[in-house]
Amino acid sequence: MTASTQPAAARNIAADSEVLYAVADHIATITLNRPDRMNTISRPMLDQLTSLLLKADRDNDVRAVILTGTGRAFCAGLDLSEATRNDGSGISGGAVQATNLDLRATPPTVLFNMEKPTICALNGSAAGYGMDTALGCDIRVMADNAKLAAAFCKRGVVPESGGTWFLPRLIGWSKAAELIFTGRTLSAAQCLEMGLVSEVTPAADCLGRAREIALEIAANAPLAVQAAKRMMRMGQSETFNDHVHHVFLQLLPLLKTADAREGMLAFMEKRTPNFQGR
């Protein structure tokens, strides 16, 4: 399946929207759709992306989420033509005067807190905000002609959307420091070698490969997958003893679900399980 091959989709939104949304086969696909601007993020896109991520996470029919872009880039960052405005209409929207910012309803925070597994299909290059957004997904599949550009310090800013949190955890302090401080651009091969992406594919196959992974995830018990993601996230800030205690508390209610019974019966009966998410 190639990137141009779209699955039969339900609940699509308008094709001219700056962020597209479609659901098929228990997979929600969210697509940044501003190809003429390399999918740079406008202020309306921030609200749209937040809304659609929450929509996917709340939809019981959705078991995995793919985030991708149209055109030759995944996301070239924030729209600098908006970010540099002084009339209050840009990305910051006058928030720089605030002393207490509420970031709970912004895409990076929403993406991090999602229960559903997220896969970024890096159809093209990502820079700045786009790179942070990709890093915020659980799994990354990258086109072989794409690049990641950590160009924050070259623009006089910091990785404002999670990069300073994700990168040291993904590749270690020394490599993260070198990448952020230099503002270096990485090829797909370098990203794979450093462990920033799960795999690299030919550009035409990137979305298709992400969908294959999403279908594998969607075939499993959704409550168990979501609990596993929850435990992985909690484990990053817990001691081992605390963590295994919390895992056990997650396991007890799962054992009472119909899906747990179905999974065990299917194993004993040597058949494919039919999970219902309950």
Say yes or no: 115 and 228 in one domain. no
- What domain count does the chain have? 2
Q: Which residues pair with 134 in a beta bridge?
A: none
Give CA–CA dist 43/80, Å, rounded.
11
Say yes or no: 48 and 133 in one domain. yes
Give CA–CA dist 45/129, Å, rounded.
12
CATH number, domain containing residue 177:
3.90.226.10
Say yes or no: 203 and 237 in one domain. no
Any domain includes 4: no
Give CA–CA dist 53/255, Å, rounded.
29
Any domain includes 188: yes
pLDDT tens digits, residue range 226-268?
A: 999 999 999 989 999 999 999 999 999 999 999 999 999 999 9
Any domain includes 6: no
Any domain includes 55: yes
Say yes or no: 127 and 262 in one domain. no
Say yes or no: 67 and 99 in one domain. yes
Any domain includes 273: no
Kindly list the distances between the CA atom of residue 167 and the CA atoms of 67, 135, 263, in Å, as whole numbers in the listed order.
Answer: 19, 8, 36
Say yes or no: 43 and 90 in one domain. yes
From 181, 202, 218, the end of a domain falls on 218
Closest CA to 27 of 108, 117, 158, 137: 117
Say yes or no: 61 and 197 in one domain. yes
pLDDT of residue 79: 81
- Domain extent for 67: 19-218
Closest CA to 39 of 123, 162, 150, 153: 123
Any domain includes 30: yes
Report the residue count for the chain.
Answer: 278
From 185, 203, 218, the end of a domain falls on 218
Any domain includes 277: no
Say yes or no: 56 and 90 in one domain. yes
Does residue 126 carry a pLDDT above 60?
yes
pTM of the model: 0.87
Say yes or no: 92 and 74 in one domain. yes
Cβ neighbors of 56 (< 8 A, separation 6 or more) are: 21, 23, 28, 30, 62, 65, 114, 116
pLDDT tens digits, residue range 132-187?
A: 999 999 999 999 999 999 888 777 777 778 888 999 999 999 999 999 999 999 99
DSSP string, 178-210: HHHHHT-EEEHHHHHHHTSSSEEE-GGGHHHHH
Say yes or no: 246 and 202 in one domain. no
Any domain includes 1: no
Say yes or no: 63 and 166 in one domain. yes
Say yes or no: 72 and 99 in one domain. yes
97-126: average pLDDT? 86
Instruction: Determine the longest span between alpha carbons in the chain, in angstroms.
Output: 66
